[in-house]
Structure 1
Amino acid sequence: MAELTRSLRAGWIRLIVDWRRIEPARGAYDEAQLALLDARVRELRSAGLRIVLTTCYLPEWASDQRFWSDPPPSLAPGYRPFYPIRADALADYRRFGAMLAGRYGPRIHALECWNEPNLWVYLYPQRVPGDKSFGARTYLRMLKAFTRGVRSADKRVRVLAGATAPLGTNDKLRTSPQAFARFLKRARAGRWFDGYSHHPYTPGGSVFAAPGKPPNDPRTTVTLYNLKTLLRLFPGKPFYLTEYGYNTRTSLDFGGFRVSERLQARYLRQAYARAGKHKQVKALFWYLVQDVRPAGGPANRGVYTGLRRLDGSRKPAWYAYRNLR
């Protein structure tokens, strides 16, 4: 913690709140898990960090079993945390939002409704026969329930919507961030959130890597280059870029895209400079502080966007981040 606040001089931090772990059985919150979250929030708050809590991962009991028999390619049938929420579980998600707002409201900056809901890993399917906007429509139902819960407990707590992944192919697996946001705009969803969030990564397979360069297809991708595409849709809303980074080793979870450590540091500086030019953008969150790799798993399943390497040693990007302010 001292590194974040004293050495790196970070001002923000984002924590994932796993709904499966907090409420493994319907109506019964796991007090041990909440105690861990309590301690983490208390520690971060006392360090002076502004906290965004992001809810994610649908519990099995809340999942619509009708979708379990038609999984994404290469996956077996059965429960996964990305299947749509059951209609009768929306009330539970509302109560979950109320619990979080009531418990942490004065100590956090915002609650973020889900993570990358335009991506199959977090919400699947994105499309069904007769409904090309199924993913976004499902998300809007969740957002309404969540926000109602939050506001019933503490109207001062901000709700962030979106948290969209940078790329979408507008099929069963992915919805472009533009299409996702436009659906919310048409549905007049702005009343249900206080700020919008997005993850403007440069996607794997990109011809150009730098933050200021165009993506391969600006019609289906939103990076820092064309962020205005989203800003214009919600001109009265503050924006939070709640994930961003560059891998310095191959990571299949990021499409195998990597840059050198030297370029990572350069692009970090460029990214913060570019984001800072938009008055609507209130924060850009670098993901991660330190590289991670699954215990016993293959190296290419790790995440190497960190400011530190796996062994804890500092990359050039660590110094670049420290010198931003």
Structure 2
Amino acid sequence: MSPAPTAEAPPDNSISTATLNPTGQIFVPVAPGGEAGGATAASIAAAPTDTATLASSPTPAPPTATPEPAFPAYTGPPLDRDKIGLQIYLHRQDVRDLLRHFEALDIGWVKVQVSWKLHEPRPGEYDAQLFEELDRLVAGATGQNVKVLLSVSKAPEWSRPVTEMDGPPADYGHFEAFMRLLATRYAGQVAAYELWNEPNLQREWNGSPLSAADFVALMRRGAAGVRAADPAALLISGAPAVTGINDGVSAIDDRVYLGAMLAAGVAEVVDGVGVHPYGWANPSDSRVADPTQVTGSHNNHPSFFFLDTLEDYRAMLVSAGADALPLWPTEFGWGSFEGLYTPEGAPAAPPAGAEFMAETSEYEQAVYILRAYELAHERAWVGPMFLWNLNFTAALGPEFQEVGYSLLRFDGSRRPAYRGLEFRGE
């Protein structure tokens, strides 16, 4: 995830029951339980309410999940399952439940973050539980014809010159060895590896000055490890964060950083270029150059706009002669805290730094996500696109901004974006 500069107090930005996006595409709301082509056998139903009573003493009904609100029906061209990806939280989750979600949403890809420092806490020693969880997920997904992308970053403390925050190892050979281990273990099962995450941020590259050239050197070693064990696996460059910050210390602007990656030869290393085209609170079709902006903050820099980021990156690849490489949006999404509640039952609010999420309703979140997939499908140079995220509400509380992006609420009920994806094209 990218850091969020402090936003202004956002205005109310509610929408009507039928939303017209900037291109004229109409998303028609579908009532809860209404027909959108009919639910499939894989649909994940909300918990039923027990209305039975005893003659002698009434028994209160058990609590139910949050009622499902209306959701937008996708009416655009068919979306290719093989380009629909989703990032999940895996630790201590029931893989069978995750697989049911994959089936309900009919996704072709799943992304899992592999924290190297947790998987190899000491040199040559590996966390058995974490690898067993990963084994089950990889086996289950591949058995369900869902391709797996493993995103690997965060060097162990024993390999780094400093232990604060996260960053690369002092010896890039350690990264090569760990990637070789992963590719050996999952040869023929894991379809792709993303080499690192948001390396233009100090918090992800601490211990060394921010440097795209050094990052490309690290990826060369990681790529060598994968290709030695599984030459068929695809390699995707770690995506820079979109921040609007370019101070050279806390962050380097993502466009500047990508240009330096291209100059350092990243096109020779990978099969696809990672990109994180977050939209903040801006609609999918909007651009920084629009004469009128509909949001109250994060609207004055191209890094805050989904479509600007995609098309700017593509233009840079074409200019560098690397247009054969597809863009892989390995994270994207819109955050909303509507429908999320604290453990005490009070409506949750976006945490400090994520106030912009208050400008996006759950319904708008769904509209923007569906439209983003449609826009990406219109561009042949965009590869699989991974929505952030399915279920970080299973691990984090309302004080974390990550939960605003989740498709599932804290009680496990499905948000409108989930249901819009579930019934797309039906």
Q: Give a deviation string over 1:225-272, Cα, whole Å, max 9, x none.
A: 341211231311122111111111144486332110111111112111
2:415 aligns to what? 315
- State the partner residue of 1:36: 133
Q: Distance in 2 between matches of 1:57 and 1:228?
A: 29
| Residue segments in structure 2 that go unaligned for 5+ positions in a row | 1-97, 289-298, 338-348
Q: Per-residue deviation at 1:183?
A: 0.5
Q: Distance in 1 between matches of 2:334 and 2:135?
A: 31
SS at match of 1:164: coil
RCO comparison, higher one (Cα < 8 Å, 6+): 2
* Aligned residue among 177, 202, 211 for 1:95: 177
5 Å matches for 1:53-64?
Answer: 53-64=150-161
Q: 1:311 to 1:112 in 2, by over 3 A?
A: same
Does the Cα contact within 8 Å between 2:154 and 2:167 map onto a contact in 1?
Answer: no
Task: Quote the residue 1:113 is aligned against.
Answer: 195
Displacement of 1:117 in angstroms is 1.4
1:138-217 matches, cutoff 5 A: 138-171=214-247, 172-203=249-280, 209-215=282-288, 216-217=299-300
Q: For 1:130-183, what per-residue CA distance to the aligned partner results, in whole angstroms no more than 9, with x for missing partners?
A: xxxx33233112101101111122221111003222224122111222111101
Q: 8 Å contact 2:180–2:229 — kept in the other structure?
A: yes
Q: Give the Å deviation of 1:32.
A: 3.8
Structure of greater Rg: 2
Q: How many residues align?
A: 299
User: 1:249-264, aligned counterparts within 5 Å?
Assistant: 249=337, 250-252=349-351, 255-258=354-357, 259-264=360-365
Structure 1, unaligned stretches of length 5 or more? 66-78, 129-133
How far apart are 1:10 and its partner, in Å?
1.3
Shift of 1:51: 0.6
Partner residue of 2:325 out of 203, 227, 237: 237
**Corresponding residue number in structure 1 for 2:308:** 225
Which stretch shows the higher mean deviation, 216-225 or 165-174?
Answer: 216-225
Could you state the TM-score of these two structures normalised by the residue count of structure 2? 0.65
Q: Percent of aligned positions with the same letter in both sequences?
A: 26
Q: Deviations over 1:30-83 (max 9, x none)?
A: 344322221221112112211100102121011123xxxxxxxxxxxxx23423
Residues in 2 aligned to 1:48 and 1:190: alpha-carbon distance in whole angstroms: 29
Partner of 1:4 in structure 2?
A: 101
1:178 and 1:320 mapped to 2: Cα distance?
32
Q: How far, CA to CA, are the matches of 2:382 and 2:262 in structure 1?
A: 19
TM-score, structure 1 length as denominator? 0.84
Q: Any idea what SS the aligned residue of 2:203 has?
A: coil
Number of the residue aligned with 1:131: none
Deviation at 1:321, TM superposition (A): 1.0
Matched to 1:27, the amino acid is G
Provide the C-alpha distance between the structure 2 equivalents of 1:265 and 1:302, rounded to a whole number of angstroms. Answer: 16
Q: In structure 2, what residue type is equivalent to 1:38?
A: D
- Which residue in 2 is equivalent to 1:52? 149
Q: Secondary structure at the match of 1:292?
A: helix
Structure 1 residues 84 and 96, CA gap change in structure 2 (3 angstroms)? closer
Q: Residues 119, 221 of structure 1: CA spacing in aligned structure 2 closer, same or farther, 3 A cutoff?
A: farther
How large is the RMSD of aligned CA atoms in angstroms? 2.3
Match of 2:389 among 288, 292, 313: 288
Aligned residue type for 2:204: Y
Query: 2:16 — aligned with what?
Result: none
Deviations 1:191-220 (A, max 9, x none): 1111111111123xx6xx101112434455
